[in-house]
Chain A
Amino acid sequence: EAGVAQSPRYKIIEKRQSVAFWCNPISGHATLYWYQQILGQGPKLLIQFQNNGVVDDSQLPKDRFSAERLKGVDSTLKIQPAKLEDSAVYLCASSFATDTQYFGPGTRLTVL
């Protein structure tokens, strides 16, 4: 069974630029999560989708972050404009309903 796929794996941008990350969950997993993991910290949930609807986006900085999950499968997370403090690893995870979450390898973002 293929795992959660993410791209790109690494991204370097300058502050105020925009960036987008892509996630393809495990086939059949209706629930998709985006986490932000700052160096030396645990992952922090940014947004959770159930199919293509948002379940929880309470910790998403909505003035600059947006996410969508069209057709209830793939998802994109966008940052516009990026700030220095957005430097982190962005992890995508998926689960079958509220079962075990499986994580992708993450996208490492560096904002200069």
Chain B
Amino acid sequence: QKEVEQDPGPLSVPEGAIVSLNCTYSNSAFQYFMWYRQYSRKGPELLMYTYSSGNKEDGRFTAQVDKSSKYISLFIRDSQPSDSATYLCAMTFTGGGNKLTFGTGTQLKVEL
């Protein structure tokens, strides 16, 4: 079993839809949770960063962490064609030396 599981998609939605992306994990030591966005032939870029459980909102993006269920989510409101990319969840823990464990990524396509 992988430490971090993520549905690879692809996920195709119409413009303006609400998108829900999810990851589950098995290591209860994870405390810091990130979402990276990766455009084709580019490196990942940090989108959202949360610590422990709860919600965090930034514009059209909301990150949600449920540590009791070992489940994290990223919601994208009013999705745009420019949101088409691969979304990677990543996580680490205190004392982990900033070593990130990534999910496999979910490929998202927002269509006009």
Of B4, B8, B41, chain A has the most CB atoms within 10 Å of the CB of B41
Cβ of B43 and Cβ of A91 under 8 Å apart? yes
Contacts of A3-35 to chain B: CB distance below 8 A: 4, 31
Given contacts A91-B43, A103-B45, contact A42 B105 (CB under 8 A): yes
B100 within 8 A of A: yes
Cβ of A45 and Cβ of B99 under 8 Å apart? yes
A-B contact pairs, 17 of them (CB 8 A): A4-B43, A40-B8, A40-B105, A43-B100, A43-B102, A48-B98, A48-B99, A91-B43, A91-B44, A93-B43, A95-B98, A98-B97, A98-B98, A100-B46, A102-B45, A105-B43, A108-B41
Q: Interface SS of chain B: helix, strand, loop or mixed?
A: loop
Interface magnitude class on chain B:
20 to 34
Residues of A within 8 A of B (CB): 4, 31, 40-45, 48, 55-56, 91, 93, 95, 97-106, 108
